[in-house]
Structure 1
Amino acid sequence: MTVIAAPAPLRDYIESIFRAAGSHDAEAQQIAEHLIEANLTGHDSHGVGMVPAYMLHLKNGWVKPNQVPVQVGGAGAFAVFDGQMGYGQPIVNAVMAQAQQIARTHGVAVTTLRNAQHIGRVGFYADRLSAQGLMSIHFVNAVYAVPTVAPFRGSDPRLMTNPVCIAIPGSQPVLLDFATSTIALGKVRVAYNKGEQVAPGRLIDHTGQPTTEPKVMFEDPRGAQTAFGEHKGWALAFVAEVLGGAMAGAPRSGEGFRDGLSNGMMSIVLEPGRLIDGGWFDAALARVIDYVKASPAADPDKPVLVPGEPERLSKAQRGRDGIPIDATTWKQIGNCAKALGLGVPEFPSVAD
């Protein structure tokens, strides 16, 4: 069975879990908003299914509630922040608010962030900057006790899914946001919880051979994810590790990190109007979008889309019809709520 949850009451439920777990109201609201937005935009890998992992991190002392980022370096257009291992969503919200102010003053902001617990869907932050007319580029590294992505030509995991994100503002905004692996680890978790296989080419087993079985990422002997686009995706993952990790002074893979999940992040935020007339650029962007979307669809039911469009379509559909949550994930979230003395709300369900 799949639960179909209305976004608003689901947000209230998730918020109540974090509040009961020790987060102040503002922090609980920001985490819940971010997770629900991920589900709404179709990225269930970064949605409410992360709650059990966050509660595990809290139990083990790997995340510290109610932290704020501290600026530890930089001046002028540059700023270096330490997230003090707080929940990633409110930490990055605060850092991006600072980046926005810096960009308004200097035309561009270059920020780095280290020591933040899982920051979630990077496109969430870029999308909000874009809504304020700001272009942004983000490189993120992730460090876990055990890495998950194998190098191109390698046979065992060495890095994590290290996302890259670019947002371009306009009347038709563009949002590129992807993991550098062929599939996000959270999407493998969703398939594992549903008892489904993943598409070919996404995973390898412990011997380095291709597999479609998601359990290789969660049961011993462990396998690995592959980088998308062979050497090209692997190169992006490597660069994200260096810029989001080393440039930020953040933990990196292969250096003995054992305390849950940590993200490092490098962001470039700029005012496009400092480079080109905003009206002219918006019209040029619209012409490019119209040109590529005019390509006849190979499948009439699957028209050409531009980056960010799938998320907008998903948000409209799920905002109207509800957010689907598989039974295993729903039970795991409910167990977290019950452990905190909370009830579990009733939502409709449909057969799988």
Structure 2
Amino acid sequence: MRVDHRSLHDFTCRCLLAVGVPSKDAALVADVLTAADLRGVDSHGVARLRRYVDGVRDGKILPDARTTVLAETAATVALDAGHGLGQPASCQAVDMAIAKSVKTGIGMATVRRSNHFGIAGYYALRAARQGLFAIVGTNASPQVAPTHGATPMFGTNPLAVAFPTDADQPFVFDAATSVVPRGKLERLHREGREMRSGWAVDPNGESTTDIPKVVEGLKAREGYALLPLGGPGESHGGHKGYGLATVVELFCGPLAGAHWGRHVYGAEGAGLGHFFLCGQVAALTTLADFQAEANRMFGELRASPKARGHDRILVAGEREHEIERHRLAAGIPLTPAVVTDLVRVAEQCGVAPLGTPVDDIGVGD
């Protein structure tokens, strides 16, 4: 099933409005989810809508929470999301960091007592499209074991970095610090595909490829764990992924005044933390010179010798930009499992089901 992104955005807004989310906040959440689907990050798109709807209905997410300022300087600000949706608080945070960087050269914002905020790259690109560089991160539910460990201690702790290398196609690197996020396993399972060895371990610390057991074990916190970027042990750099996850956790937990590690969700609700660092390229070099050198670098990367069996070298974010252009024109493909779930969400919210899909024109993603 292929749907127009505007129809998907409208449907998402209607579901959120139905459970009491204010219209402006509903639109921001819909923007972030639709952006993920447009860029091919299907694990963080509308497949996550149920998470927010159920969270609001269960009282775990406060739909009308207001983000407040806890502390502020010329270049920094600390915010409290008040157990509300992560996207509105994060948009406010990155916009404040952007405004501060315009005045001082650099700006940073942190958020505490927040919820899932979608794809980190959305916020990094929000800054890059204004001529700034940005670094964005968030902690998450504990799902990843430390190197040589067998118990989830950190979240997948994604990190996004963006640069204004091109007005229409900024550079953006956006990735989890685990080998894979849980959402990818859920997507593979929906599509009837398998996971690889070295992505996750069972309660004994042994590698497993049983997606249902891993996903259910992660949800129930029954000992199953994802592995850090690099996989098991240190031979392929798993300790580096673990180190990166710890860096993100320090920014988003102790520095943000948020919960960390195994404590991010407590009896009082969500305690996730996010951080946003934005800076002026023009404060360090001219934007034109930076863009010229960056694109010269990218040109050399793309033109470098290819490994056998490959005819193309990509720069981070390039594939997502291409998918976005295609899906803007051809529509967003939704798997049968996601469509079925969205039908149920619509029924629970008492809203009209997702509109008629646009024709599948047969162009692959």
TM range (shorter): over 0.9
Q: Does residue 115 of the first structure (1) align with residue 123 of the second (2)?
A: no
For residue 225 of structure 2, what is the amino acid of its counterpart? A
Q: Deviations over 1:60-89 (max 9, x none)?
A: 211111333211013111111111121111
Residue 200 of structure 2 corresponds to 203
Contact 1:216 1:222 in 2 (8 A): no
Structure 2 Cα separation of the partners of residues 262 and 32 of structure 1: 22
Q: Distance in 1 between matches of 2:257 and 2:216?
A: 32
How far did residue 265 of structure 1 move? 1.4
For residues 196-239 of structure 1, the C-alpha deviation after alignment (integer angstroms, 9 at most, x for no partner) is 32233211122211122211333345511111121111100011
Return the alpha-carbon distance in structure 1 between the equivalents of residues 121 and 264 of structure 2. Answer: 29
Change (3 A) 1:328 1:56: same
Write the distance in 2 (CA, Å) between the matches of 1:343 and 1:64.
24
- Check if 1:271 corresponds to 2:266: no
Larger relative contact order (C-alpha < 8 A, sep ≥ 6)? 1
Of 139, 148, 153, the match for 2:148 = 153
Please tell me whether the aligned partners of residues 137 and 248 of structure 2 are also in contact (alpha carbons under 8 angstroms): yes
Mapped contact 1:118–1:262 kept (Cα < 8 A): no
Instruction: Flag as ranges the 4+ runs of structure 1 deviating above 6 A.
Output: none
- Rate the CA distance shift 1:279–1:347 in 2: closer, same or farther, 3 A: closer
Question: Does 1:218 find its partner at 2:215?
Answer: yes
> TM-score normalized by structure 2?
0.89
Aligned partner of 2:239 among 215, 228, 231: 231
Q: CA RMSD in A?
A: 2.0
Distance 2:304 2:135 in 1: 28
Q: Give the alignment partner of residue 159 of structure 2, picking from 161, 164, 173.
A: 164
Distance change (3 Å), C-alpha of 1:52 and 1:276: same
SS at match of 2:324: helix
* Count of aligned positions: 346
Return the match for 1:325 from 331, 334, 337.
334
Match of 2:233 in 1: none
Instruction: After superposition, give the CA deviation of every residue in 1:290-332 in whole Å (9 maximum; x if it has no partner).
Output: 1111013336665111111111011012222221222222212
* SS of 2:253 mapped into structure 1: helix
Which runs of structure 2 are paired with 1:1-352 in the superposition (5 Å)?
Answer: 3-142=1-140, 144=141, 147-171=142-166, 173-220=170-217, 222-229=223-230, 230-255=238-263, 257-258=265-266, 262-298=271-307, 303-345=312-354, 346-347=356-357
- Listed as ranges, the gaps of 5+ residues in structure 2 are 231-237, 361-365
Deviations 1:226-257 (A, max 9, x none): 11121111100011111111100001123373
The percent identity for this pair of structures is 29
Cα contact 2:83–2:270 (8 A) shared by 1? no
9-18 vs 260-269, which deviates more? 260-269
| Preserved contact between residue 331 and residue 358 of structure 2 (Cα < 8 Å) | no
Letter of the aligned partner of 2:262 in structure 1?
Answer: G
What is the alpha-carbon distance in structure 2 between the residues aligned to residue 339 and residue 181 of structure 1? 34
Find the aligned partners of 2:270 and 2:311 in 1 and give their Cα distance: 37
Please say if residues 69 and 95 of structure 1, whose CA atoms lie closer than 8 Å, have aligned partners that are also in contact. Answer: no
